Chain A
Amino acid sequence: MTSAPDHRYPVGTVRALLDTAHVTAPTRKALQARLGGPPTPRPDVLGERMATLAAVCARLLPQADRDPPIDVAGTIHAQLATGMGDGWRYADLPPDEAGWRQGLAGIDQTARAMFGGDFTGLTACAQDSVLRAVQAGSPAGAIWRTLPAARFFETLLAGAVEVYYAHPWAQEEIGYAGMADAPGWRAVGLGEREPREPGEIAI
């Protein structure tokens, strides 16, 4: 196991930057809207599958020490409800909403086959086993005979991750200050830092 460097910023760092002249008006608007959480999905395209999605996202991007957490599942749901995807789809996956509903139902099928219960009711450890099986590409469950599991998992994971790291709280977690670019950057070289880029804190 490699020990990746860990250089998070202090909590509140990015939120404090948003109120400064280092951030342009369109940038501030976009990020503050995101801090307000996702809009209510209309129509409700996931229905009862939403609970499964929320439980899956909690394992893909655990946020045990953040209350409230970034609403990854709610944001995905709101995106799906707009009918506007990301511009492409593997041809062997069904259209977006239907694909997500089927895939989430498939995860529950796998959960029942492996552990005898719906995904939401399993322990974190069991949930991770289910997700690993889906990611590996040949999990138990009838849905996966027609829905390619690994492709669905890749789409699900990329979607969740892109929602999570677009959120200012997650950008704080990774020490990202790129949104504070209104004055431009002069210190762009290796190891160079400008005063408004917060220093890293050791963990």
Chain B
Amino acid sequence: MRRHRPGDIVDAVVIGTGAGGAPLLARLAAAGLSVVALEAGSHWSPTEDFATDETEQNKLFWRDERLTTGGTPLAFGKNNSGIGVGGSTLHYTAYTPRAQPDDFHLHRDFGVGVDWPLGYAELAPYYDEVEATLGVSGPSPYPWGPPRPAYPLGPLPLNGAAQLMARGCEAIGLRTSPAANAALSAPYHQSGIGWRPACTNRGFCQAGCSTGAKASMDVTYIPLALAHGAELRPESFVTGFERDAAGSIASVVYRHAGGDERQRCRQVFLCAGAIETPRLLLMNDLGNASGQVGRNLMAHTGLQLWGSFDPAVRPYKGIPGALISEDHHRPADADFAGGYLLQSIGVMPVTYAGTVARGRGLWGEALTRHMRGYNHVAGINILGECLPSPGNYVELSGEVDARGLPKPLSHFTAGENELRLTAHADKTMRAIWHAAGARDIWSFDRFAHTIGTCRMGDDPTDSVVDRDGRVHDVPNLIICDNSTFPSALSVNPALTIMALSLRTADRFLARVTRGDV
């Protein structure tokens, strides 16, 4: 690996190596720029370090404490966070549906929220490219959305939960399809990355893939970036910036092995996710002329519905989200804006037990009896729209963590639109599970993914970055992660973050070419 000295002025420092940071890191390196990536967490070796054990794998979650409040406080830790080279892609389910064109203009269609300053057309070529690089496995043709190229690989096998959802949906007249997943249904080769093996159906995506079949960033864009000469510095926790007289960032300050280090640079890409990105800006009073840093926190409506079935499901096997339905993308009978997708879900035992504890409050014999039916449990969940609201935001709390830095405090209360959408989905999913033969049906209300907090927009007075990710009031700072999403999109965010990451890099490189940087 190429190594730069701290005194060298590198072309760019990238903070964070998840879905936002890794693709652009590879793109900048491929263009010949000198780039250094700073990652707060470790660089794991999946085969040696990843156990098929949920507790051992807690190391993949961001465990510096976050405080949470509001009417429906968001859960963090294993729900909404990630750390390590690869970020939260280390534990994402690898669900990679594209957003649909109308996801980008909710305000135009419904008069609520805000529209994106860019649309599907700008992202489509990048969706194509990301899917090819990751080796997304999915059905061709795909039943929803605009025409699109075939997926690079055919879909992964349907597990028990997926077969049950297919059965239930068919009975009530809903279309389903094998889902698009960024895990390989056959061995796959990409230049600069090499061969990756086919998925072995371990079912453990959410606690780390030990084989490299799942396209987390550490086995895709990071090796590509390294092949092009990028430097990666794990266990480097960014705390601040040094700025020059013009207000530009001259160096990034980070903590490594107990000491403070700094890296001089011409450009910074901040890709730390929708909690750490605004936290870092707020701690440093940076980029917040609009007062919008930390505002507009959104989280996908993520209601889960569980049931017990007579045949054995053994829900620990197979790609967890094997089946999808987007028939409710814009439901005809909706009394809310936007819509949701449905997906079948497999589940690991500790996660399921914790869900039963929090969701049903079962304990004692009632709990252990229920858990003895674990092998017969299957679930469905939604991934749905969430509107921005003035009461939902991230700020710095008065408490400091072990590093001496203020802990973030998130405020989140589900609004009327989220409640109506969730009620609609609850009814839909109960009908599916009844038709599939479920007993003991129960739902768990939850929110997934943190989105917003550094909104993208054309107007510097009500947004933090422009359509190219450039922070309005800092000349050489670009943000690229889920914090810049102006609206939540009713799909899982990872693929869109990666597509946006490549677009952000290309827009920056075009300025470099023009001599405009």
Q: Which residues of A contact B (CB under 8 A)?
A: 2, 4-8, 23-27, 29-31, 34, 59-62, 83-92, 95-96, 128, 131, 135, 154, 157-158, 160-162, 164-166, 171, 173-179, 181, 183-193, 197, 200, 203
Of B51, B202, B361, the residue contacting A154 (CB under 8 A) is: B361
The yes or no answer to B55 lying at the interface (CB within 8 A) is yes
> Are A27 and B51 in touch, CB under 8 angstroms?
yes
> Are A135 and B64 in touch, CB under 8 angstroms?
no
* Given contact pairs A171-B349, A178-B348, A4 touches B157 in the complex (Cβ within 8 A): no
* Given contact pairs A5-B308, A5-B376, A31-B53, A88 touches B77 in the complex (Cβ within 8 A): yes
Minimal beta-carbon separation of B174 from chain A (angstroms): 19
Query: A31's closest neighbor in chain B, by CB?
Result: B53
Q: Mark B432-467, 1 if CB is under 8 A from A, else 0.
A: 000000011000000000000000000000000000
Q: Mark B299-326, 1 if CB is under 8 A from A, else 0.
A: 0000000001011111011100000000
Minimal beta-carbon separation of B186 from chain A (angstroms): 14
Interface of B is mostly: loop
Specify which chain A residues have a CB less than 8 angstroms from the CB of B65 in the assembled complex: 85, 87-89, 95-96
Specify which chain A residues have a CB less than 8 angstroms from the CB of B8 in the assembled complex: none
Specify which chain A residues have a CB less than 8 angstroms from the CB of B399 in the assembled complex: 95
The yes or no answer to B142 lying at the interface (CB within 8 A) is no
> Are A91 and B67 in touch, CB under 8 angstroms?
yes
What separation, in Å, do the CA atoms of A150 and B402 have in the docked complex? 28
The yes or no answer to B476 lying at the interface (CB within 8 A) is no
Specify which chain A residues have a CB less than 8 angstroms from the CB of B81 in the assembled complex: 87
> Are A165 and B371 in touch, CB under 8 angstroms?
yes
Specify which chain B residues have a CB less than 8 angstroms from the CB of A96 in the assembled complex: 65
Q: Which residues of B contact A (CB under 8 A)?
A: 48-56, 58, 61-69, 73, 75-78, 81, 157-160, 163-164, 200-204, 210, 308, 310-314, 316-318, 348-350, 353-354, 356-358, 361, 363-365, 367-376, 397, 399, 402, 409, 439-440
What separation, in Å, do the CA atoms of A8 and B375 have in the docked complex? 9
Of B158, B409, B440, the residue contacting A4 (CB under 8 A) is: B440
> Are A191 and B311 in touch, CB under 8 angstroms?
yes
> Are A174 and B202 in touch, CB under 8 angstroms?
no
Of B61, B317, B357, the residue contacting A158 (CB under 8 A) is: B357
Given A27-B53, A157-B358, A190-B311; 11 other pairs, CB 8 A cutoff: A86-B63, A87-B81, A88-B66, A88-B67, A88-B77, A91-B73, A92-B69, A135-B363, A178-B349, A188-B203, A190-B164
> Are A188 and B201 in touch, CB under 8 angstroms?
yes
What separation, in Å, do the CA atoms of A85 and B64 have in the docked complex? 8
Specify which chain B residues have a CB less than 8 angstroms from the CB of A183 in the assembled complex: 200
Specify which chain B residues have a CB less than 8 angstroms from the CB of A31 in the assembled complex: 51, 53
Specify which chain B residues have a CB less than 8 angstroms from the CB of A187 in the assembled complex: 317
Specify which chain B residues have a CB less than 8 angstroms from the CB of A176 in the assembled complex: 316, 349, 374-375
User: Would you list 8 pairs from A and B whose C-beta atoms are within 8 A, ordered by A residue?
Assistant: A4-B370, A61-B363, A158-B358, A174-B374, A181-B52, A185-B203, A187-B317, A189-B163
Query: B59's closest neighbor in chain A, by CB?
Result: A84
Specify which chain B residues have a CB less than 8 angstroms from the CB of A191 in the assembled complex: 160, 311-312
Specify which chain A residues have a CB less than 8 angstroms from the CB of B50 in the assembled complex: 26
> Are A174 and B358 in touch, CB under 8 angstroms?
no
> Are A181 and B204 in touch, CB under 8 angstroms?
yes
Of B164, B200, B375, B402, the residue contacting A175 (CB under 8 A) is: B375
Minimal beta-carbon separation of A69 from chain B (angstroms): 12
* Given contact pairs A60-B363, A87-B64, A5 touches B158 in the complex (Cβ within 8 A): no
Minimal beta-carbon separation of A64 from chain B (angstroms): 10
What separation, in Å, do the CA atoms of A51 and B454 have in the docked complex? 47
Of A24, A62, A86, the residue contacting B365 (CB under 8 A) is: A62
What separation, in Å, do the CA atoms of A189 and B78 have in the docked complex? 27
> Are B316 and A178 in touch, CB under 8 angstroms?
yes
Minimal beta-carbon separation of B284 from chain A (angstroms): 23
Residue among A2, A88, A187 having the largest count of chain B Cβ atoms under 10 Å: A88
What separation, in Å, do the CA atoms of A74 and B53 have in the docked complex? 20
Minimal beta-carbon separation of A171 from chain B (angstroms): 6
What separation, in Å, do the CA atoms of A95 and B308 have in the docked complex? 37
> Are A162 and B353 in touch, CB under 8 angstroms?
yes
